[in-house]
Amino acid sequence: MTAMLEVTDLQVAYGKIEAVKKITFSVDEGQVVTLIGTNGAGKTTTLRTISGLLRPTGGSIRFQGKPIQTTPAHEIVSLGIAHSPEGRRIFPRLTVEENLLLGSFSRKDTANIKGDLQAAYDLFPILRERAKQPAGTFSGGEQQMLAMGRAMMCRPKLLMLDEPSMGLSPLMMKRIMSTVRTLREQGTTILLVEQNAQAALRLADKGYVLEVGSIVLQGTGQELLASDDVRKAYLGED
């Protein structure tokens, strides 16, 4: 497989506090790769750095062979990296359809946007039913669908999902994870940060366990699911 994303010796700091400490990992084309770990492990910081919202203090990030660690965030979107952030970050006063269309702001192929809007509605039919409704009236799960649909509107080569199941009911969490599986089957490459380690590892081709800014374990999803250390620390098993 070809490495679509290569992160090498990445370091990120908030002032004097080093949040990410020389981590190295890769995401191959067509894969689902997950980062798991407790709060404060550096997972969200890593995604925000890849998408250009934070600047690294060391290391490199290469996307399709090109360095992007100094590339502005809006240009990173244009290269094909979409980031569905922690907490959804939808625009509550705009309609569902307006939120979705904002996801296509960087595209030049305007003739294809309408078709992609319909694809987002096919992925999440409730968005079609409520297209003209203010997004702020949605439940948490519906807002997560909207955030994912908006990210897909830029036709990403790499989709980064940060805590898509956070705060959702078990039923809605299963629905979101089922959608992640569907996107993978459709050929989307996905980098997933997820608090539900078991659900994430079941989906993942590869997984990396972060603790206090460092990668402490890595392997296939199945290998990590079978790891005693992972089961005790992240799956709540003895």
| Domain-wise residue ranges, the chain | 3-91+156-234
Of all residues in the chain, the percent with pLDDT exceeding 90 is 57
CATH number for domain 3-91+156-234, candidates 3.40.50.300, 3.40.220.10, 3.60.21.10, 3.30.70.270: 3.40.50.300
Confidence of residue 102 (pLDDT cuts 50, 70, 90): confident
Please indicate whether residue 138 or residue 110 has the higher confidence score (pLDDT).
138
DSSP state of 129: H
The candidate with the shortest Cα–Cα distance to 67, out of 84, 50, 83, is 50
3-state secondary structure of 144: helix
DSSP state of 95: B
Name, in order, each residue with C-beta under 8 angstroms of 192's C-beta and a sequence gap of 6 or more. Answer: 32, 33, 34, 35, 160, 161, 164, 180, 200, 203, 204
Mean pLDDT of 198-227: 94
pLDDT of 140 higher than 90? no
pLDDT of 111 higher than 90? no
- Of the candidate ranges 2-11, 176-185, 218-227, the one whose mean pLDDT is the lowest: 176-185
pLDDT of 210 higher than 90? yes
Does residue 192 contact residue 35 with C-beta atoms inside 8 Å?
yes
- What was the pLDDT predicted at 145? 87
pLDDT, tens only, 67-93? 999 999 989 998 999 998 876 788 889
User: Would you tell me the crossing angle of helices 170-185 and 113-123 to the nearest 10 degrees?
Assistant: 140
Say what the alpha-carbon torsion angle 56, 58, 61, 67 is, to the nearest 10 degrees.
100
Beta-strand relationship, 32-36 and 189-193: parallel
Does residue 160 contact residue 83 with C-beta atoms inside 8 Å?
yes
Confidence of residue 160 (pLDDT cuts 50, 70, 90): very high
pLDDT of 238 higher than 60? no
- Integer Cα distance of 10 and 99 in angstroms: 32
pLDDT, tens only, 20-65? 999 999 999 999 999 999 888 999 999 999 999 999 999 999 999 9
- What was the pLDDT predicted at 1? 58
DSSP state of 111: G
Mean pLDDT of 114-121: 90
